[in-house]
Amino acid sequence: MIRSILANKWFKFITVGTLYLLWVIWMGSYLWLLGLAVIFDIYITEKVHWSFWKKKNPPNGKQTKVVEWVDAIIFAVIAASFIRMFFIEAYTIPTSSMEKSMLVGDYLFVSKTAYGPKTPNTPISFPFVHNTMPVVGGKSYSEVIQRPYHRMAGFTKIKNNDVVVFHFPEGDTVALGIPTQSYYQLINSYGRNRVWSDKRNFGDIISRPVDKRENYIKRCVGIPGDELKLIQGQLFVNGEAQEKFGGMQYDYIVKTNGTSINPKALDKLNIAEDDRGVYSSQQYIFPLTDENAKKLEAFANVVSVEKTLDTPGKKDPAIFPMHGSFDWNVDNFGPIKVPAKGTTVELNTTTLPLYERIIDIYEANDLEVKGGVIKINGEVATSYTFKMDYYWMMGDNRHNSADSRYWGFVPEDHVVGKAKFIWLSLDKDKSFPANIRFGRLFTKVR
């Protein structure tokens, strides 16, 4: 009885049609309701041969082995692409910016449903590839069809201290020779003429749509409406000191009595080989957690362990907003308020550097400044109302992280999802099987 019900074409149509209808409602684009006609034909009328790669009425009712494999591969690609686009996606930690909370070599899953999946801006793309074709190079997507930003409903909103994956905000323009570095930082350091003309070092300069920019992972320390201030490395959110995380670390100068520190002792502290800056046999620089700093202080040959901090008022030209009015550095920053959708700020030549990129790039206005007069879309502007929410992202490895301190706010349309759990972790400084960090397998991201 049950078997006959499951095999009934009307039962199949109602089941698949209901699931499809729920997906359309979730996505909020009701043009996709036309797909119900396709589902009806597949299960009920059978007028169109949708599986064109298979024979409609094969001899003995069986397809060839090749066709069966093709059928299985097509189904797997479609199913996996659907899951990756709307539910969960794998991600790898490529840099040390989140250490020791997240380690280089961590493989994790990112939930798209946590904050709501984004529908693709560029829906025509090669499966399972982000922005560059493997081996052959070149773009893995077509910009023939461009869709506006739309986010489906999620289970929650971004909260302070969530670990978030997002598209690199300054990734709209990319020097392909060094695609992981900010084009705007390169321009600031080397000048536009050299970056555009020196193909050998910088490669071609291209633009990318929002959903095809490089993916970054950081901790969200500021949500819309928060006021942030960084004083001697301590972050204050709305006047209160940010809670300490076990994995948060800073750079320390470590001095010894003249004897070197045993590398095996550094292995026990999980200090990666790439992080072992050696000035001499008696002076080192390490990124350390508070716990590791105390452990190093206890070493018999260690004389001192001092955190390296920039002096307040010492301007770093690479720090956002890279303007003469702000004498900020990596350890002393702000106060700055994170923009919230619908809020209005006063605009003048002093405040404009903070919001210039938001107005001009992220929210696509025509911004012009002449003789101290600010014009937006051709009209004089003394204030601006934000169209989107924004976030402030920072790495837990505070002195080794390219984050919002360098490139500013992260728009809501750049948010990909929430880091959920680590399913594999490999130490690149060790060989198999010692390189598997068993203690990190299937652990929750915190």
Q: What is the DSSP string of 309-373?
A: -PPTT---TTSTT--TT----SSSEEEEE---TT-EEE-STTTHHHHHHIIIIIT---EEEETTE
**Taking the CB of residue 329, how many other CB atoms lie within 10 A of it?**
20
Give 74's pLDDT tier (boundaries 50, 70, 90).
confident
State the pLDDT at residue 271. 86
Catalogue the E-assigned strands of 29-139: 88-92, 106-111
3-state secondary structure of 290: helix
List the Cα angle 179/181/183 in 5-degree steps: 90
State the pLDDT at residue 60. 67
Per-residue pLDDT of 26-49, as tens digits, reads 988 888 899 999 988 888 888 887
State the pLDDT at residue 207. 93
Question: What length does the chain have?
Answer: 446
> 358 pLDDT exceeds 90?
yes
Per-residue pLDDT of 386-402, as tens digits, reads 999 999 999 999 999 99
Quick check: 211 and 146 in contact, CB under 8 A? no
State the pLDDT at residue 427. 87
> 62 pLDDT exceeds 80?
no
State the pLDDT at residue 410. 98
Report the alpha-carbon distance of residue 33 to residue 17 in Å, rounded.
10
Catalogue the E-assigned strands of 31-172: 88-92, 106-111, 163-167
> 12 pLDDT exceeds 70?
yes
State the pLDDT at residue 58. 72
List the Cα angle 126/132/133 in 5-degree steps: 60
318 alpha-carbon distance from chain centroid: 21
State the pLDDT at residue 99. 85
Beta bridge partners of residue 166, listed in sequence order = 216, 415
Report the alpha-carbon distance of residue 270 to residue 358 in Å, rounded.
39
> 71 pLDDT exceeds 90?
no
Give 366's pLDDT tier (boundaries 50, 70, 90).
very high
Report the alpha-carbon distance of residue 359 to residue 381 in Å, rounded.
11
- Looking only at the bridges linking them, the beta strands covering 390-394 and 410-411 are antiparallel
Q: Domain 241-307: give its CATH code.
A: 3.30.70
> 61 pLDDT exceeds 80?
no
Top-confidence residue, 394 or 246: 394
Q: Where are the domains of the chain?
A: 1-50, 241-307, 344-385
State the pLDDT at residue 222. 97
Report the alpha-carbon distance of residue 304 to residue 253 in Å, rounded.
8
Quote the tokens at residue 39.
């589902």
Q: Do you find a cis peptide bond into 420, omega within 30 degrees of 0?
A: no
The label of the residue with tokens 């390296």 reads 308
H or E element in which residue 9 lies: helix 9-27
The label of the residue with tokens 């280089």 reads 104
State the pLDDT at residue 428. 84
The alpha carbon dihedral of 420, 426, 432, 437 has a sign of negative
State the pLDDT at residue 1. 66
Report the alpha-carbon distance of residue 352 to residue 370 in Å, rounded.
13
State the pLDDT at residue 215. 93
- Burial zone of 306 (CB within 10 Å; 0-12 exposed, 13-18 middle, 19+ buried): exposed
Beta bridge partners of residue 379, listed in sequence order = 376
Report the alpha-carbon distance of residue 416 to residue 177 in Å, rounded.
25
CA-based radius of gyration for the chain: 26
At residue 276, φ and ψ (nearest 5 deg) are -95, 85
Beta bridge partners of residue 397, listed in sequence order = 249
Quote the tokens at residue 124.
């025509």
Mean pLDDT of 216-230: 96
> 145 pLDDT exceeds 70?
yes
At residue 359, φ and ψ (nearest 5 deg) are -65, -45
- Burial zone of 351 (CB within 10 Å; 0-12 exposed, 13-18 middle, 19+ buried): middle
State the pLDDT at residue 341. 97
Per-residue pLDDT of 400-432, as tens digits, reads 999 999 999 999 999 999 999 999 999 888 888
Helices and strands of the chain, counted as H and E runs: 11, 23
Nearest one of 416, 446, 394 to 91, comparing CA atoms:
416
Least confident of 113-117, 174-178, 203-207, 270-274: 270-274
State the pLDDT at residue 112. 96
Name the DSSP letter for residue 429. Answer: T
Quick check: 349 and 375 in contact, CB under 8 A? no
- Burial zone of 224 (CB within 10 Å; 0-12 exposed, 13-18 middle, 19+ buried): buried
Beta bridge partners of residue 302, listed in sequence order = 256
* Cβ-based neighbours of 239, under 8 Å, separated by 6 or more: 227
State the pLDDT at residue 419. 96
Report the alpha-carbon distance of residue 298 to residue 393 in Å, rounded.
34
- Burial zone of 30 (CB within 10 Å; 0-12 exposed, 13-18 middle, 19+ buried): exposed
